[in-house]
Structure 1
Amino acid sequence: MKRFNFSLQKVLDFREFEKKQAEAELGKAVAEETKIQSTLDMIAEAHASNVRTADSMKDLSGMLAAQNYFRLLNQQKEEAMMSLAQAKVLTEEKRDAMREAMKNCKALENLRDKRKDAWKKENYKAEENEIDDIVTSKWN
């Protein structure tokens, strides 16, 4: 019995490679988004701790320094929010690319599976015919 040979195997291999690349790119985009989110969390924590220390300050210079620090934190927060928005857009693009790569790969895998099933049925029929011929030749 001859071995199953899928004629589009090289295309399927290439599509699987593209899928792995898309997974890696999506992972990088999600990591960048997570990094920006952690930066925002650190800014929020710094803001909260500065509020606690500013409430206990009595001198004017300390209050002015705290106010300037609040402005800096707000500026950093705005920049991080813009970066986060861009990262979310990029992540969504990478997710779409990943879905497309998975869809292309799945279509070829389904085609391969259908052809393999047809090949198995054909070989099973050929084997049955061969066995029938052997049995029939023994009786004759």
Structure 2
Amino acid sequence: MARFHYAYQKVVDLKSSEKTQAEWLLSAALGKLRSEELTLQNLYEERAEWCQRLQEASSTAVPLSEILVMQQYVDHVDTCIMRKLTDIKKAQREVDDRRNFLSDKMKDEKVWQKSKERALDRFRAVVQSKEQNELDELATVRFIVPAP
């Protein structure tokens, strides 16, 4: 029996490889987003801790200069939180872009896989037709040539 050979197999392989690369890119973007979110969570925890310290310092006999330093640090953490929120938005946009890119690559791969499947179906139909013709010819020869 003849073997199936798809003329565009390298294109199918390329599309599959592109999809895999797109999956890796999405995975990296998701990792970066998670990292940014974790950093933001740490900043919120640090801010809460320093606000608590500031609250305690204001109710006890702590020099005003020390309270001002604490407040400046809380303000600095607030600024870091604002920057981190911007970073998270950027990372989220990157994740969305990577998802769309992966979606496009998956569609491309699916189109080429379907094309390959249709070519394989046509190949099988041709092979089956040839086999049927050979069987019909064999039956005809047996009918024409009587058994001894």
| Structure-2-length-normalised TM-score | 0.87
Cα distance in structure 1, aligned partners of 2:49 and 2:104: 45
| Cα RMSD after superposing both structures | 1.4
Please name the residue that 1:2 is paired with: 2
C-alpha separation in 1, matches of 2:17 and 2:30: 20
Equivalent position of 1:27 in the other structure: 27
Query: Highest CA radius of gyration, 1 or 2?
Result: 2
Aligned amino acid, residue 12 of structure 1: V
Please name the residue that 1:81 is paired with.
85
Q: C-alpha separation between the residues in 1 aligned to 2:66 and 2:136?
A: 100
Q: 1:26-50, CA deviations, whole angstroms, 9 ceiling, x for partnerless residues?
A: 1111111111111000011111222
Question: Percent identity of the aligned residues?
Answer: 24
2:136 paired residue number: 132
Give the CA deviation at 1:54: 2.3
Normalising by structure 1, we get a TM-score of 0.92
Gaps of 5+ in 2: none
Unpaired runs of 5+ residues, structure 1, are none
Q: Deviations over 1:62-112 (max 9, x none)?
A: 422321121111111111111111111222221111111111111000111
Q: Decide which of 39, 63, 69 is 1:65's aligned counterpart.
A: 69
One-letter amino acid of the counterpart of residue 124, structure 2: K
Deviation of 1:61 after TM superposition, in Å, equals 3.7
Aligned residues: 140
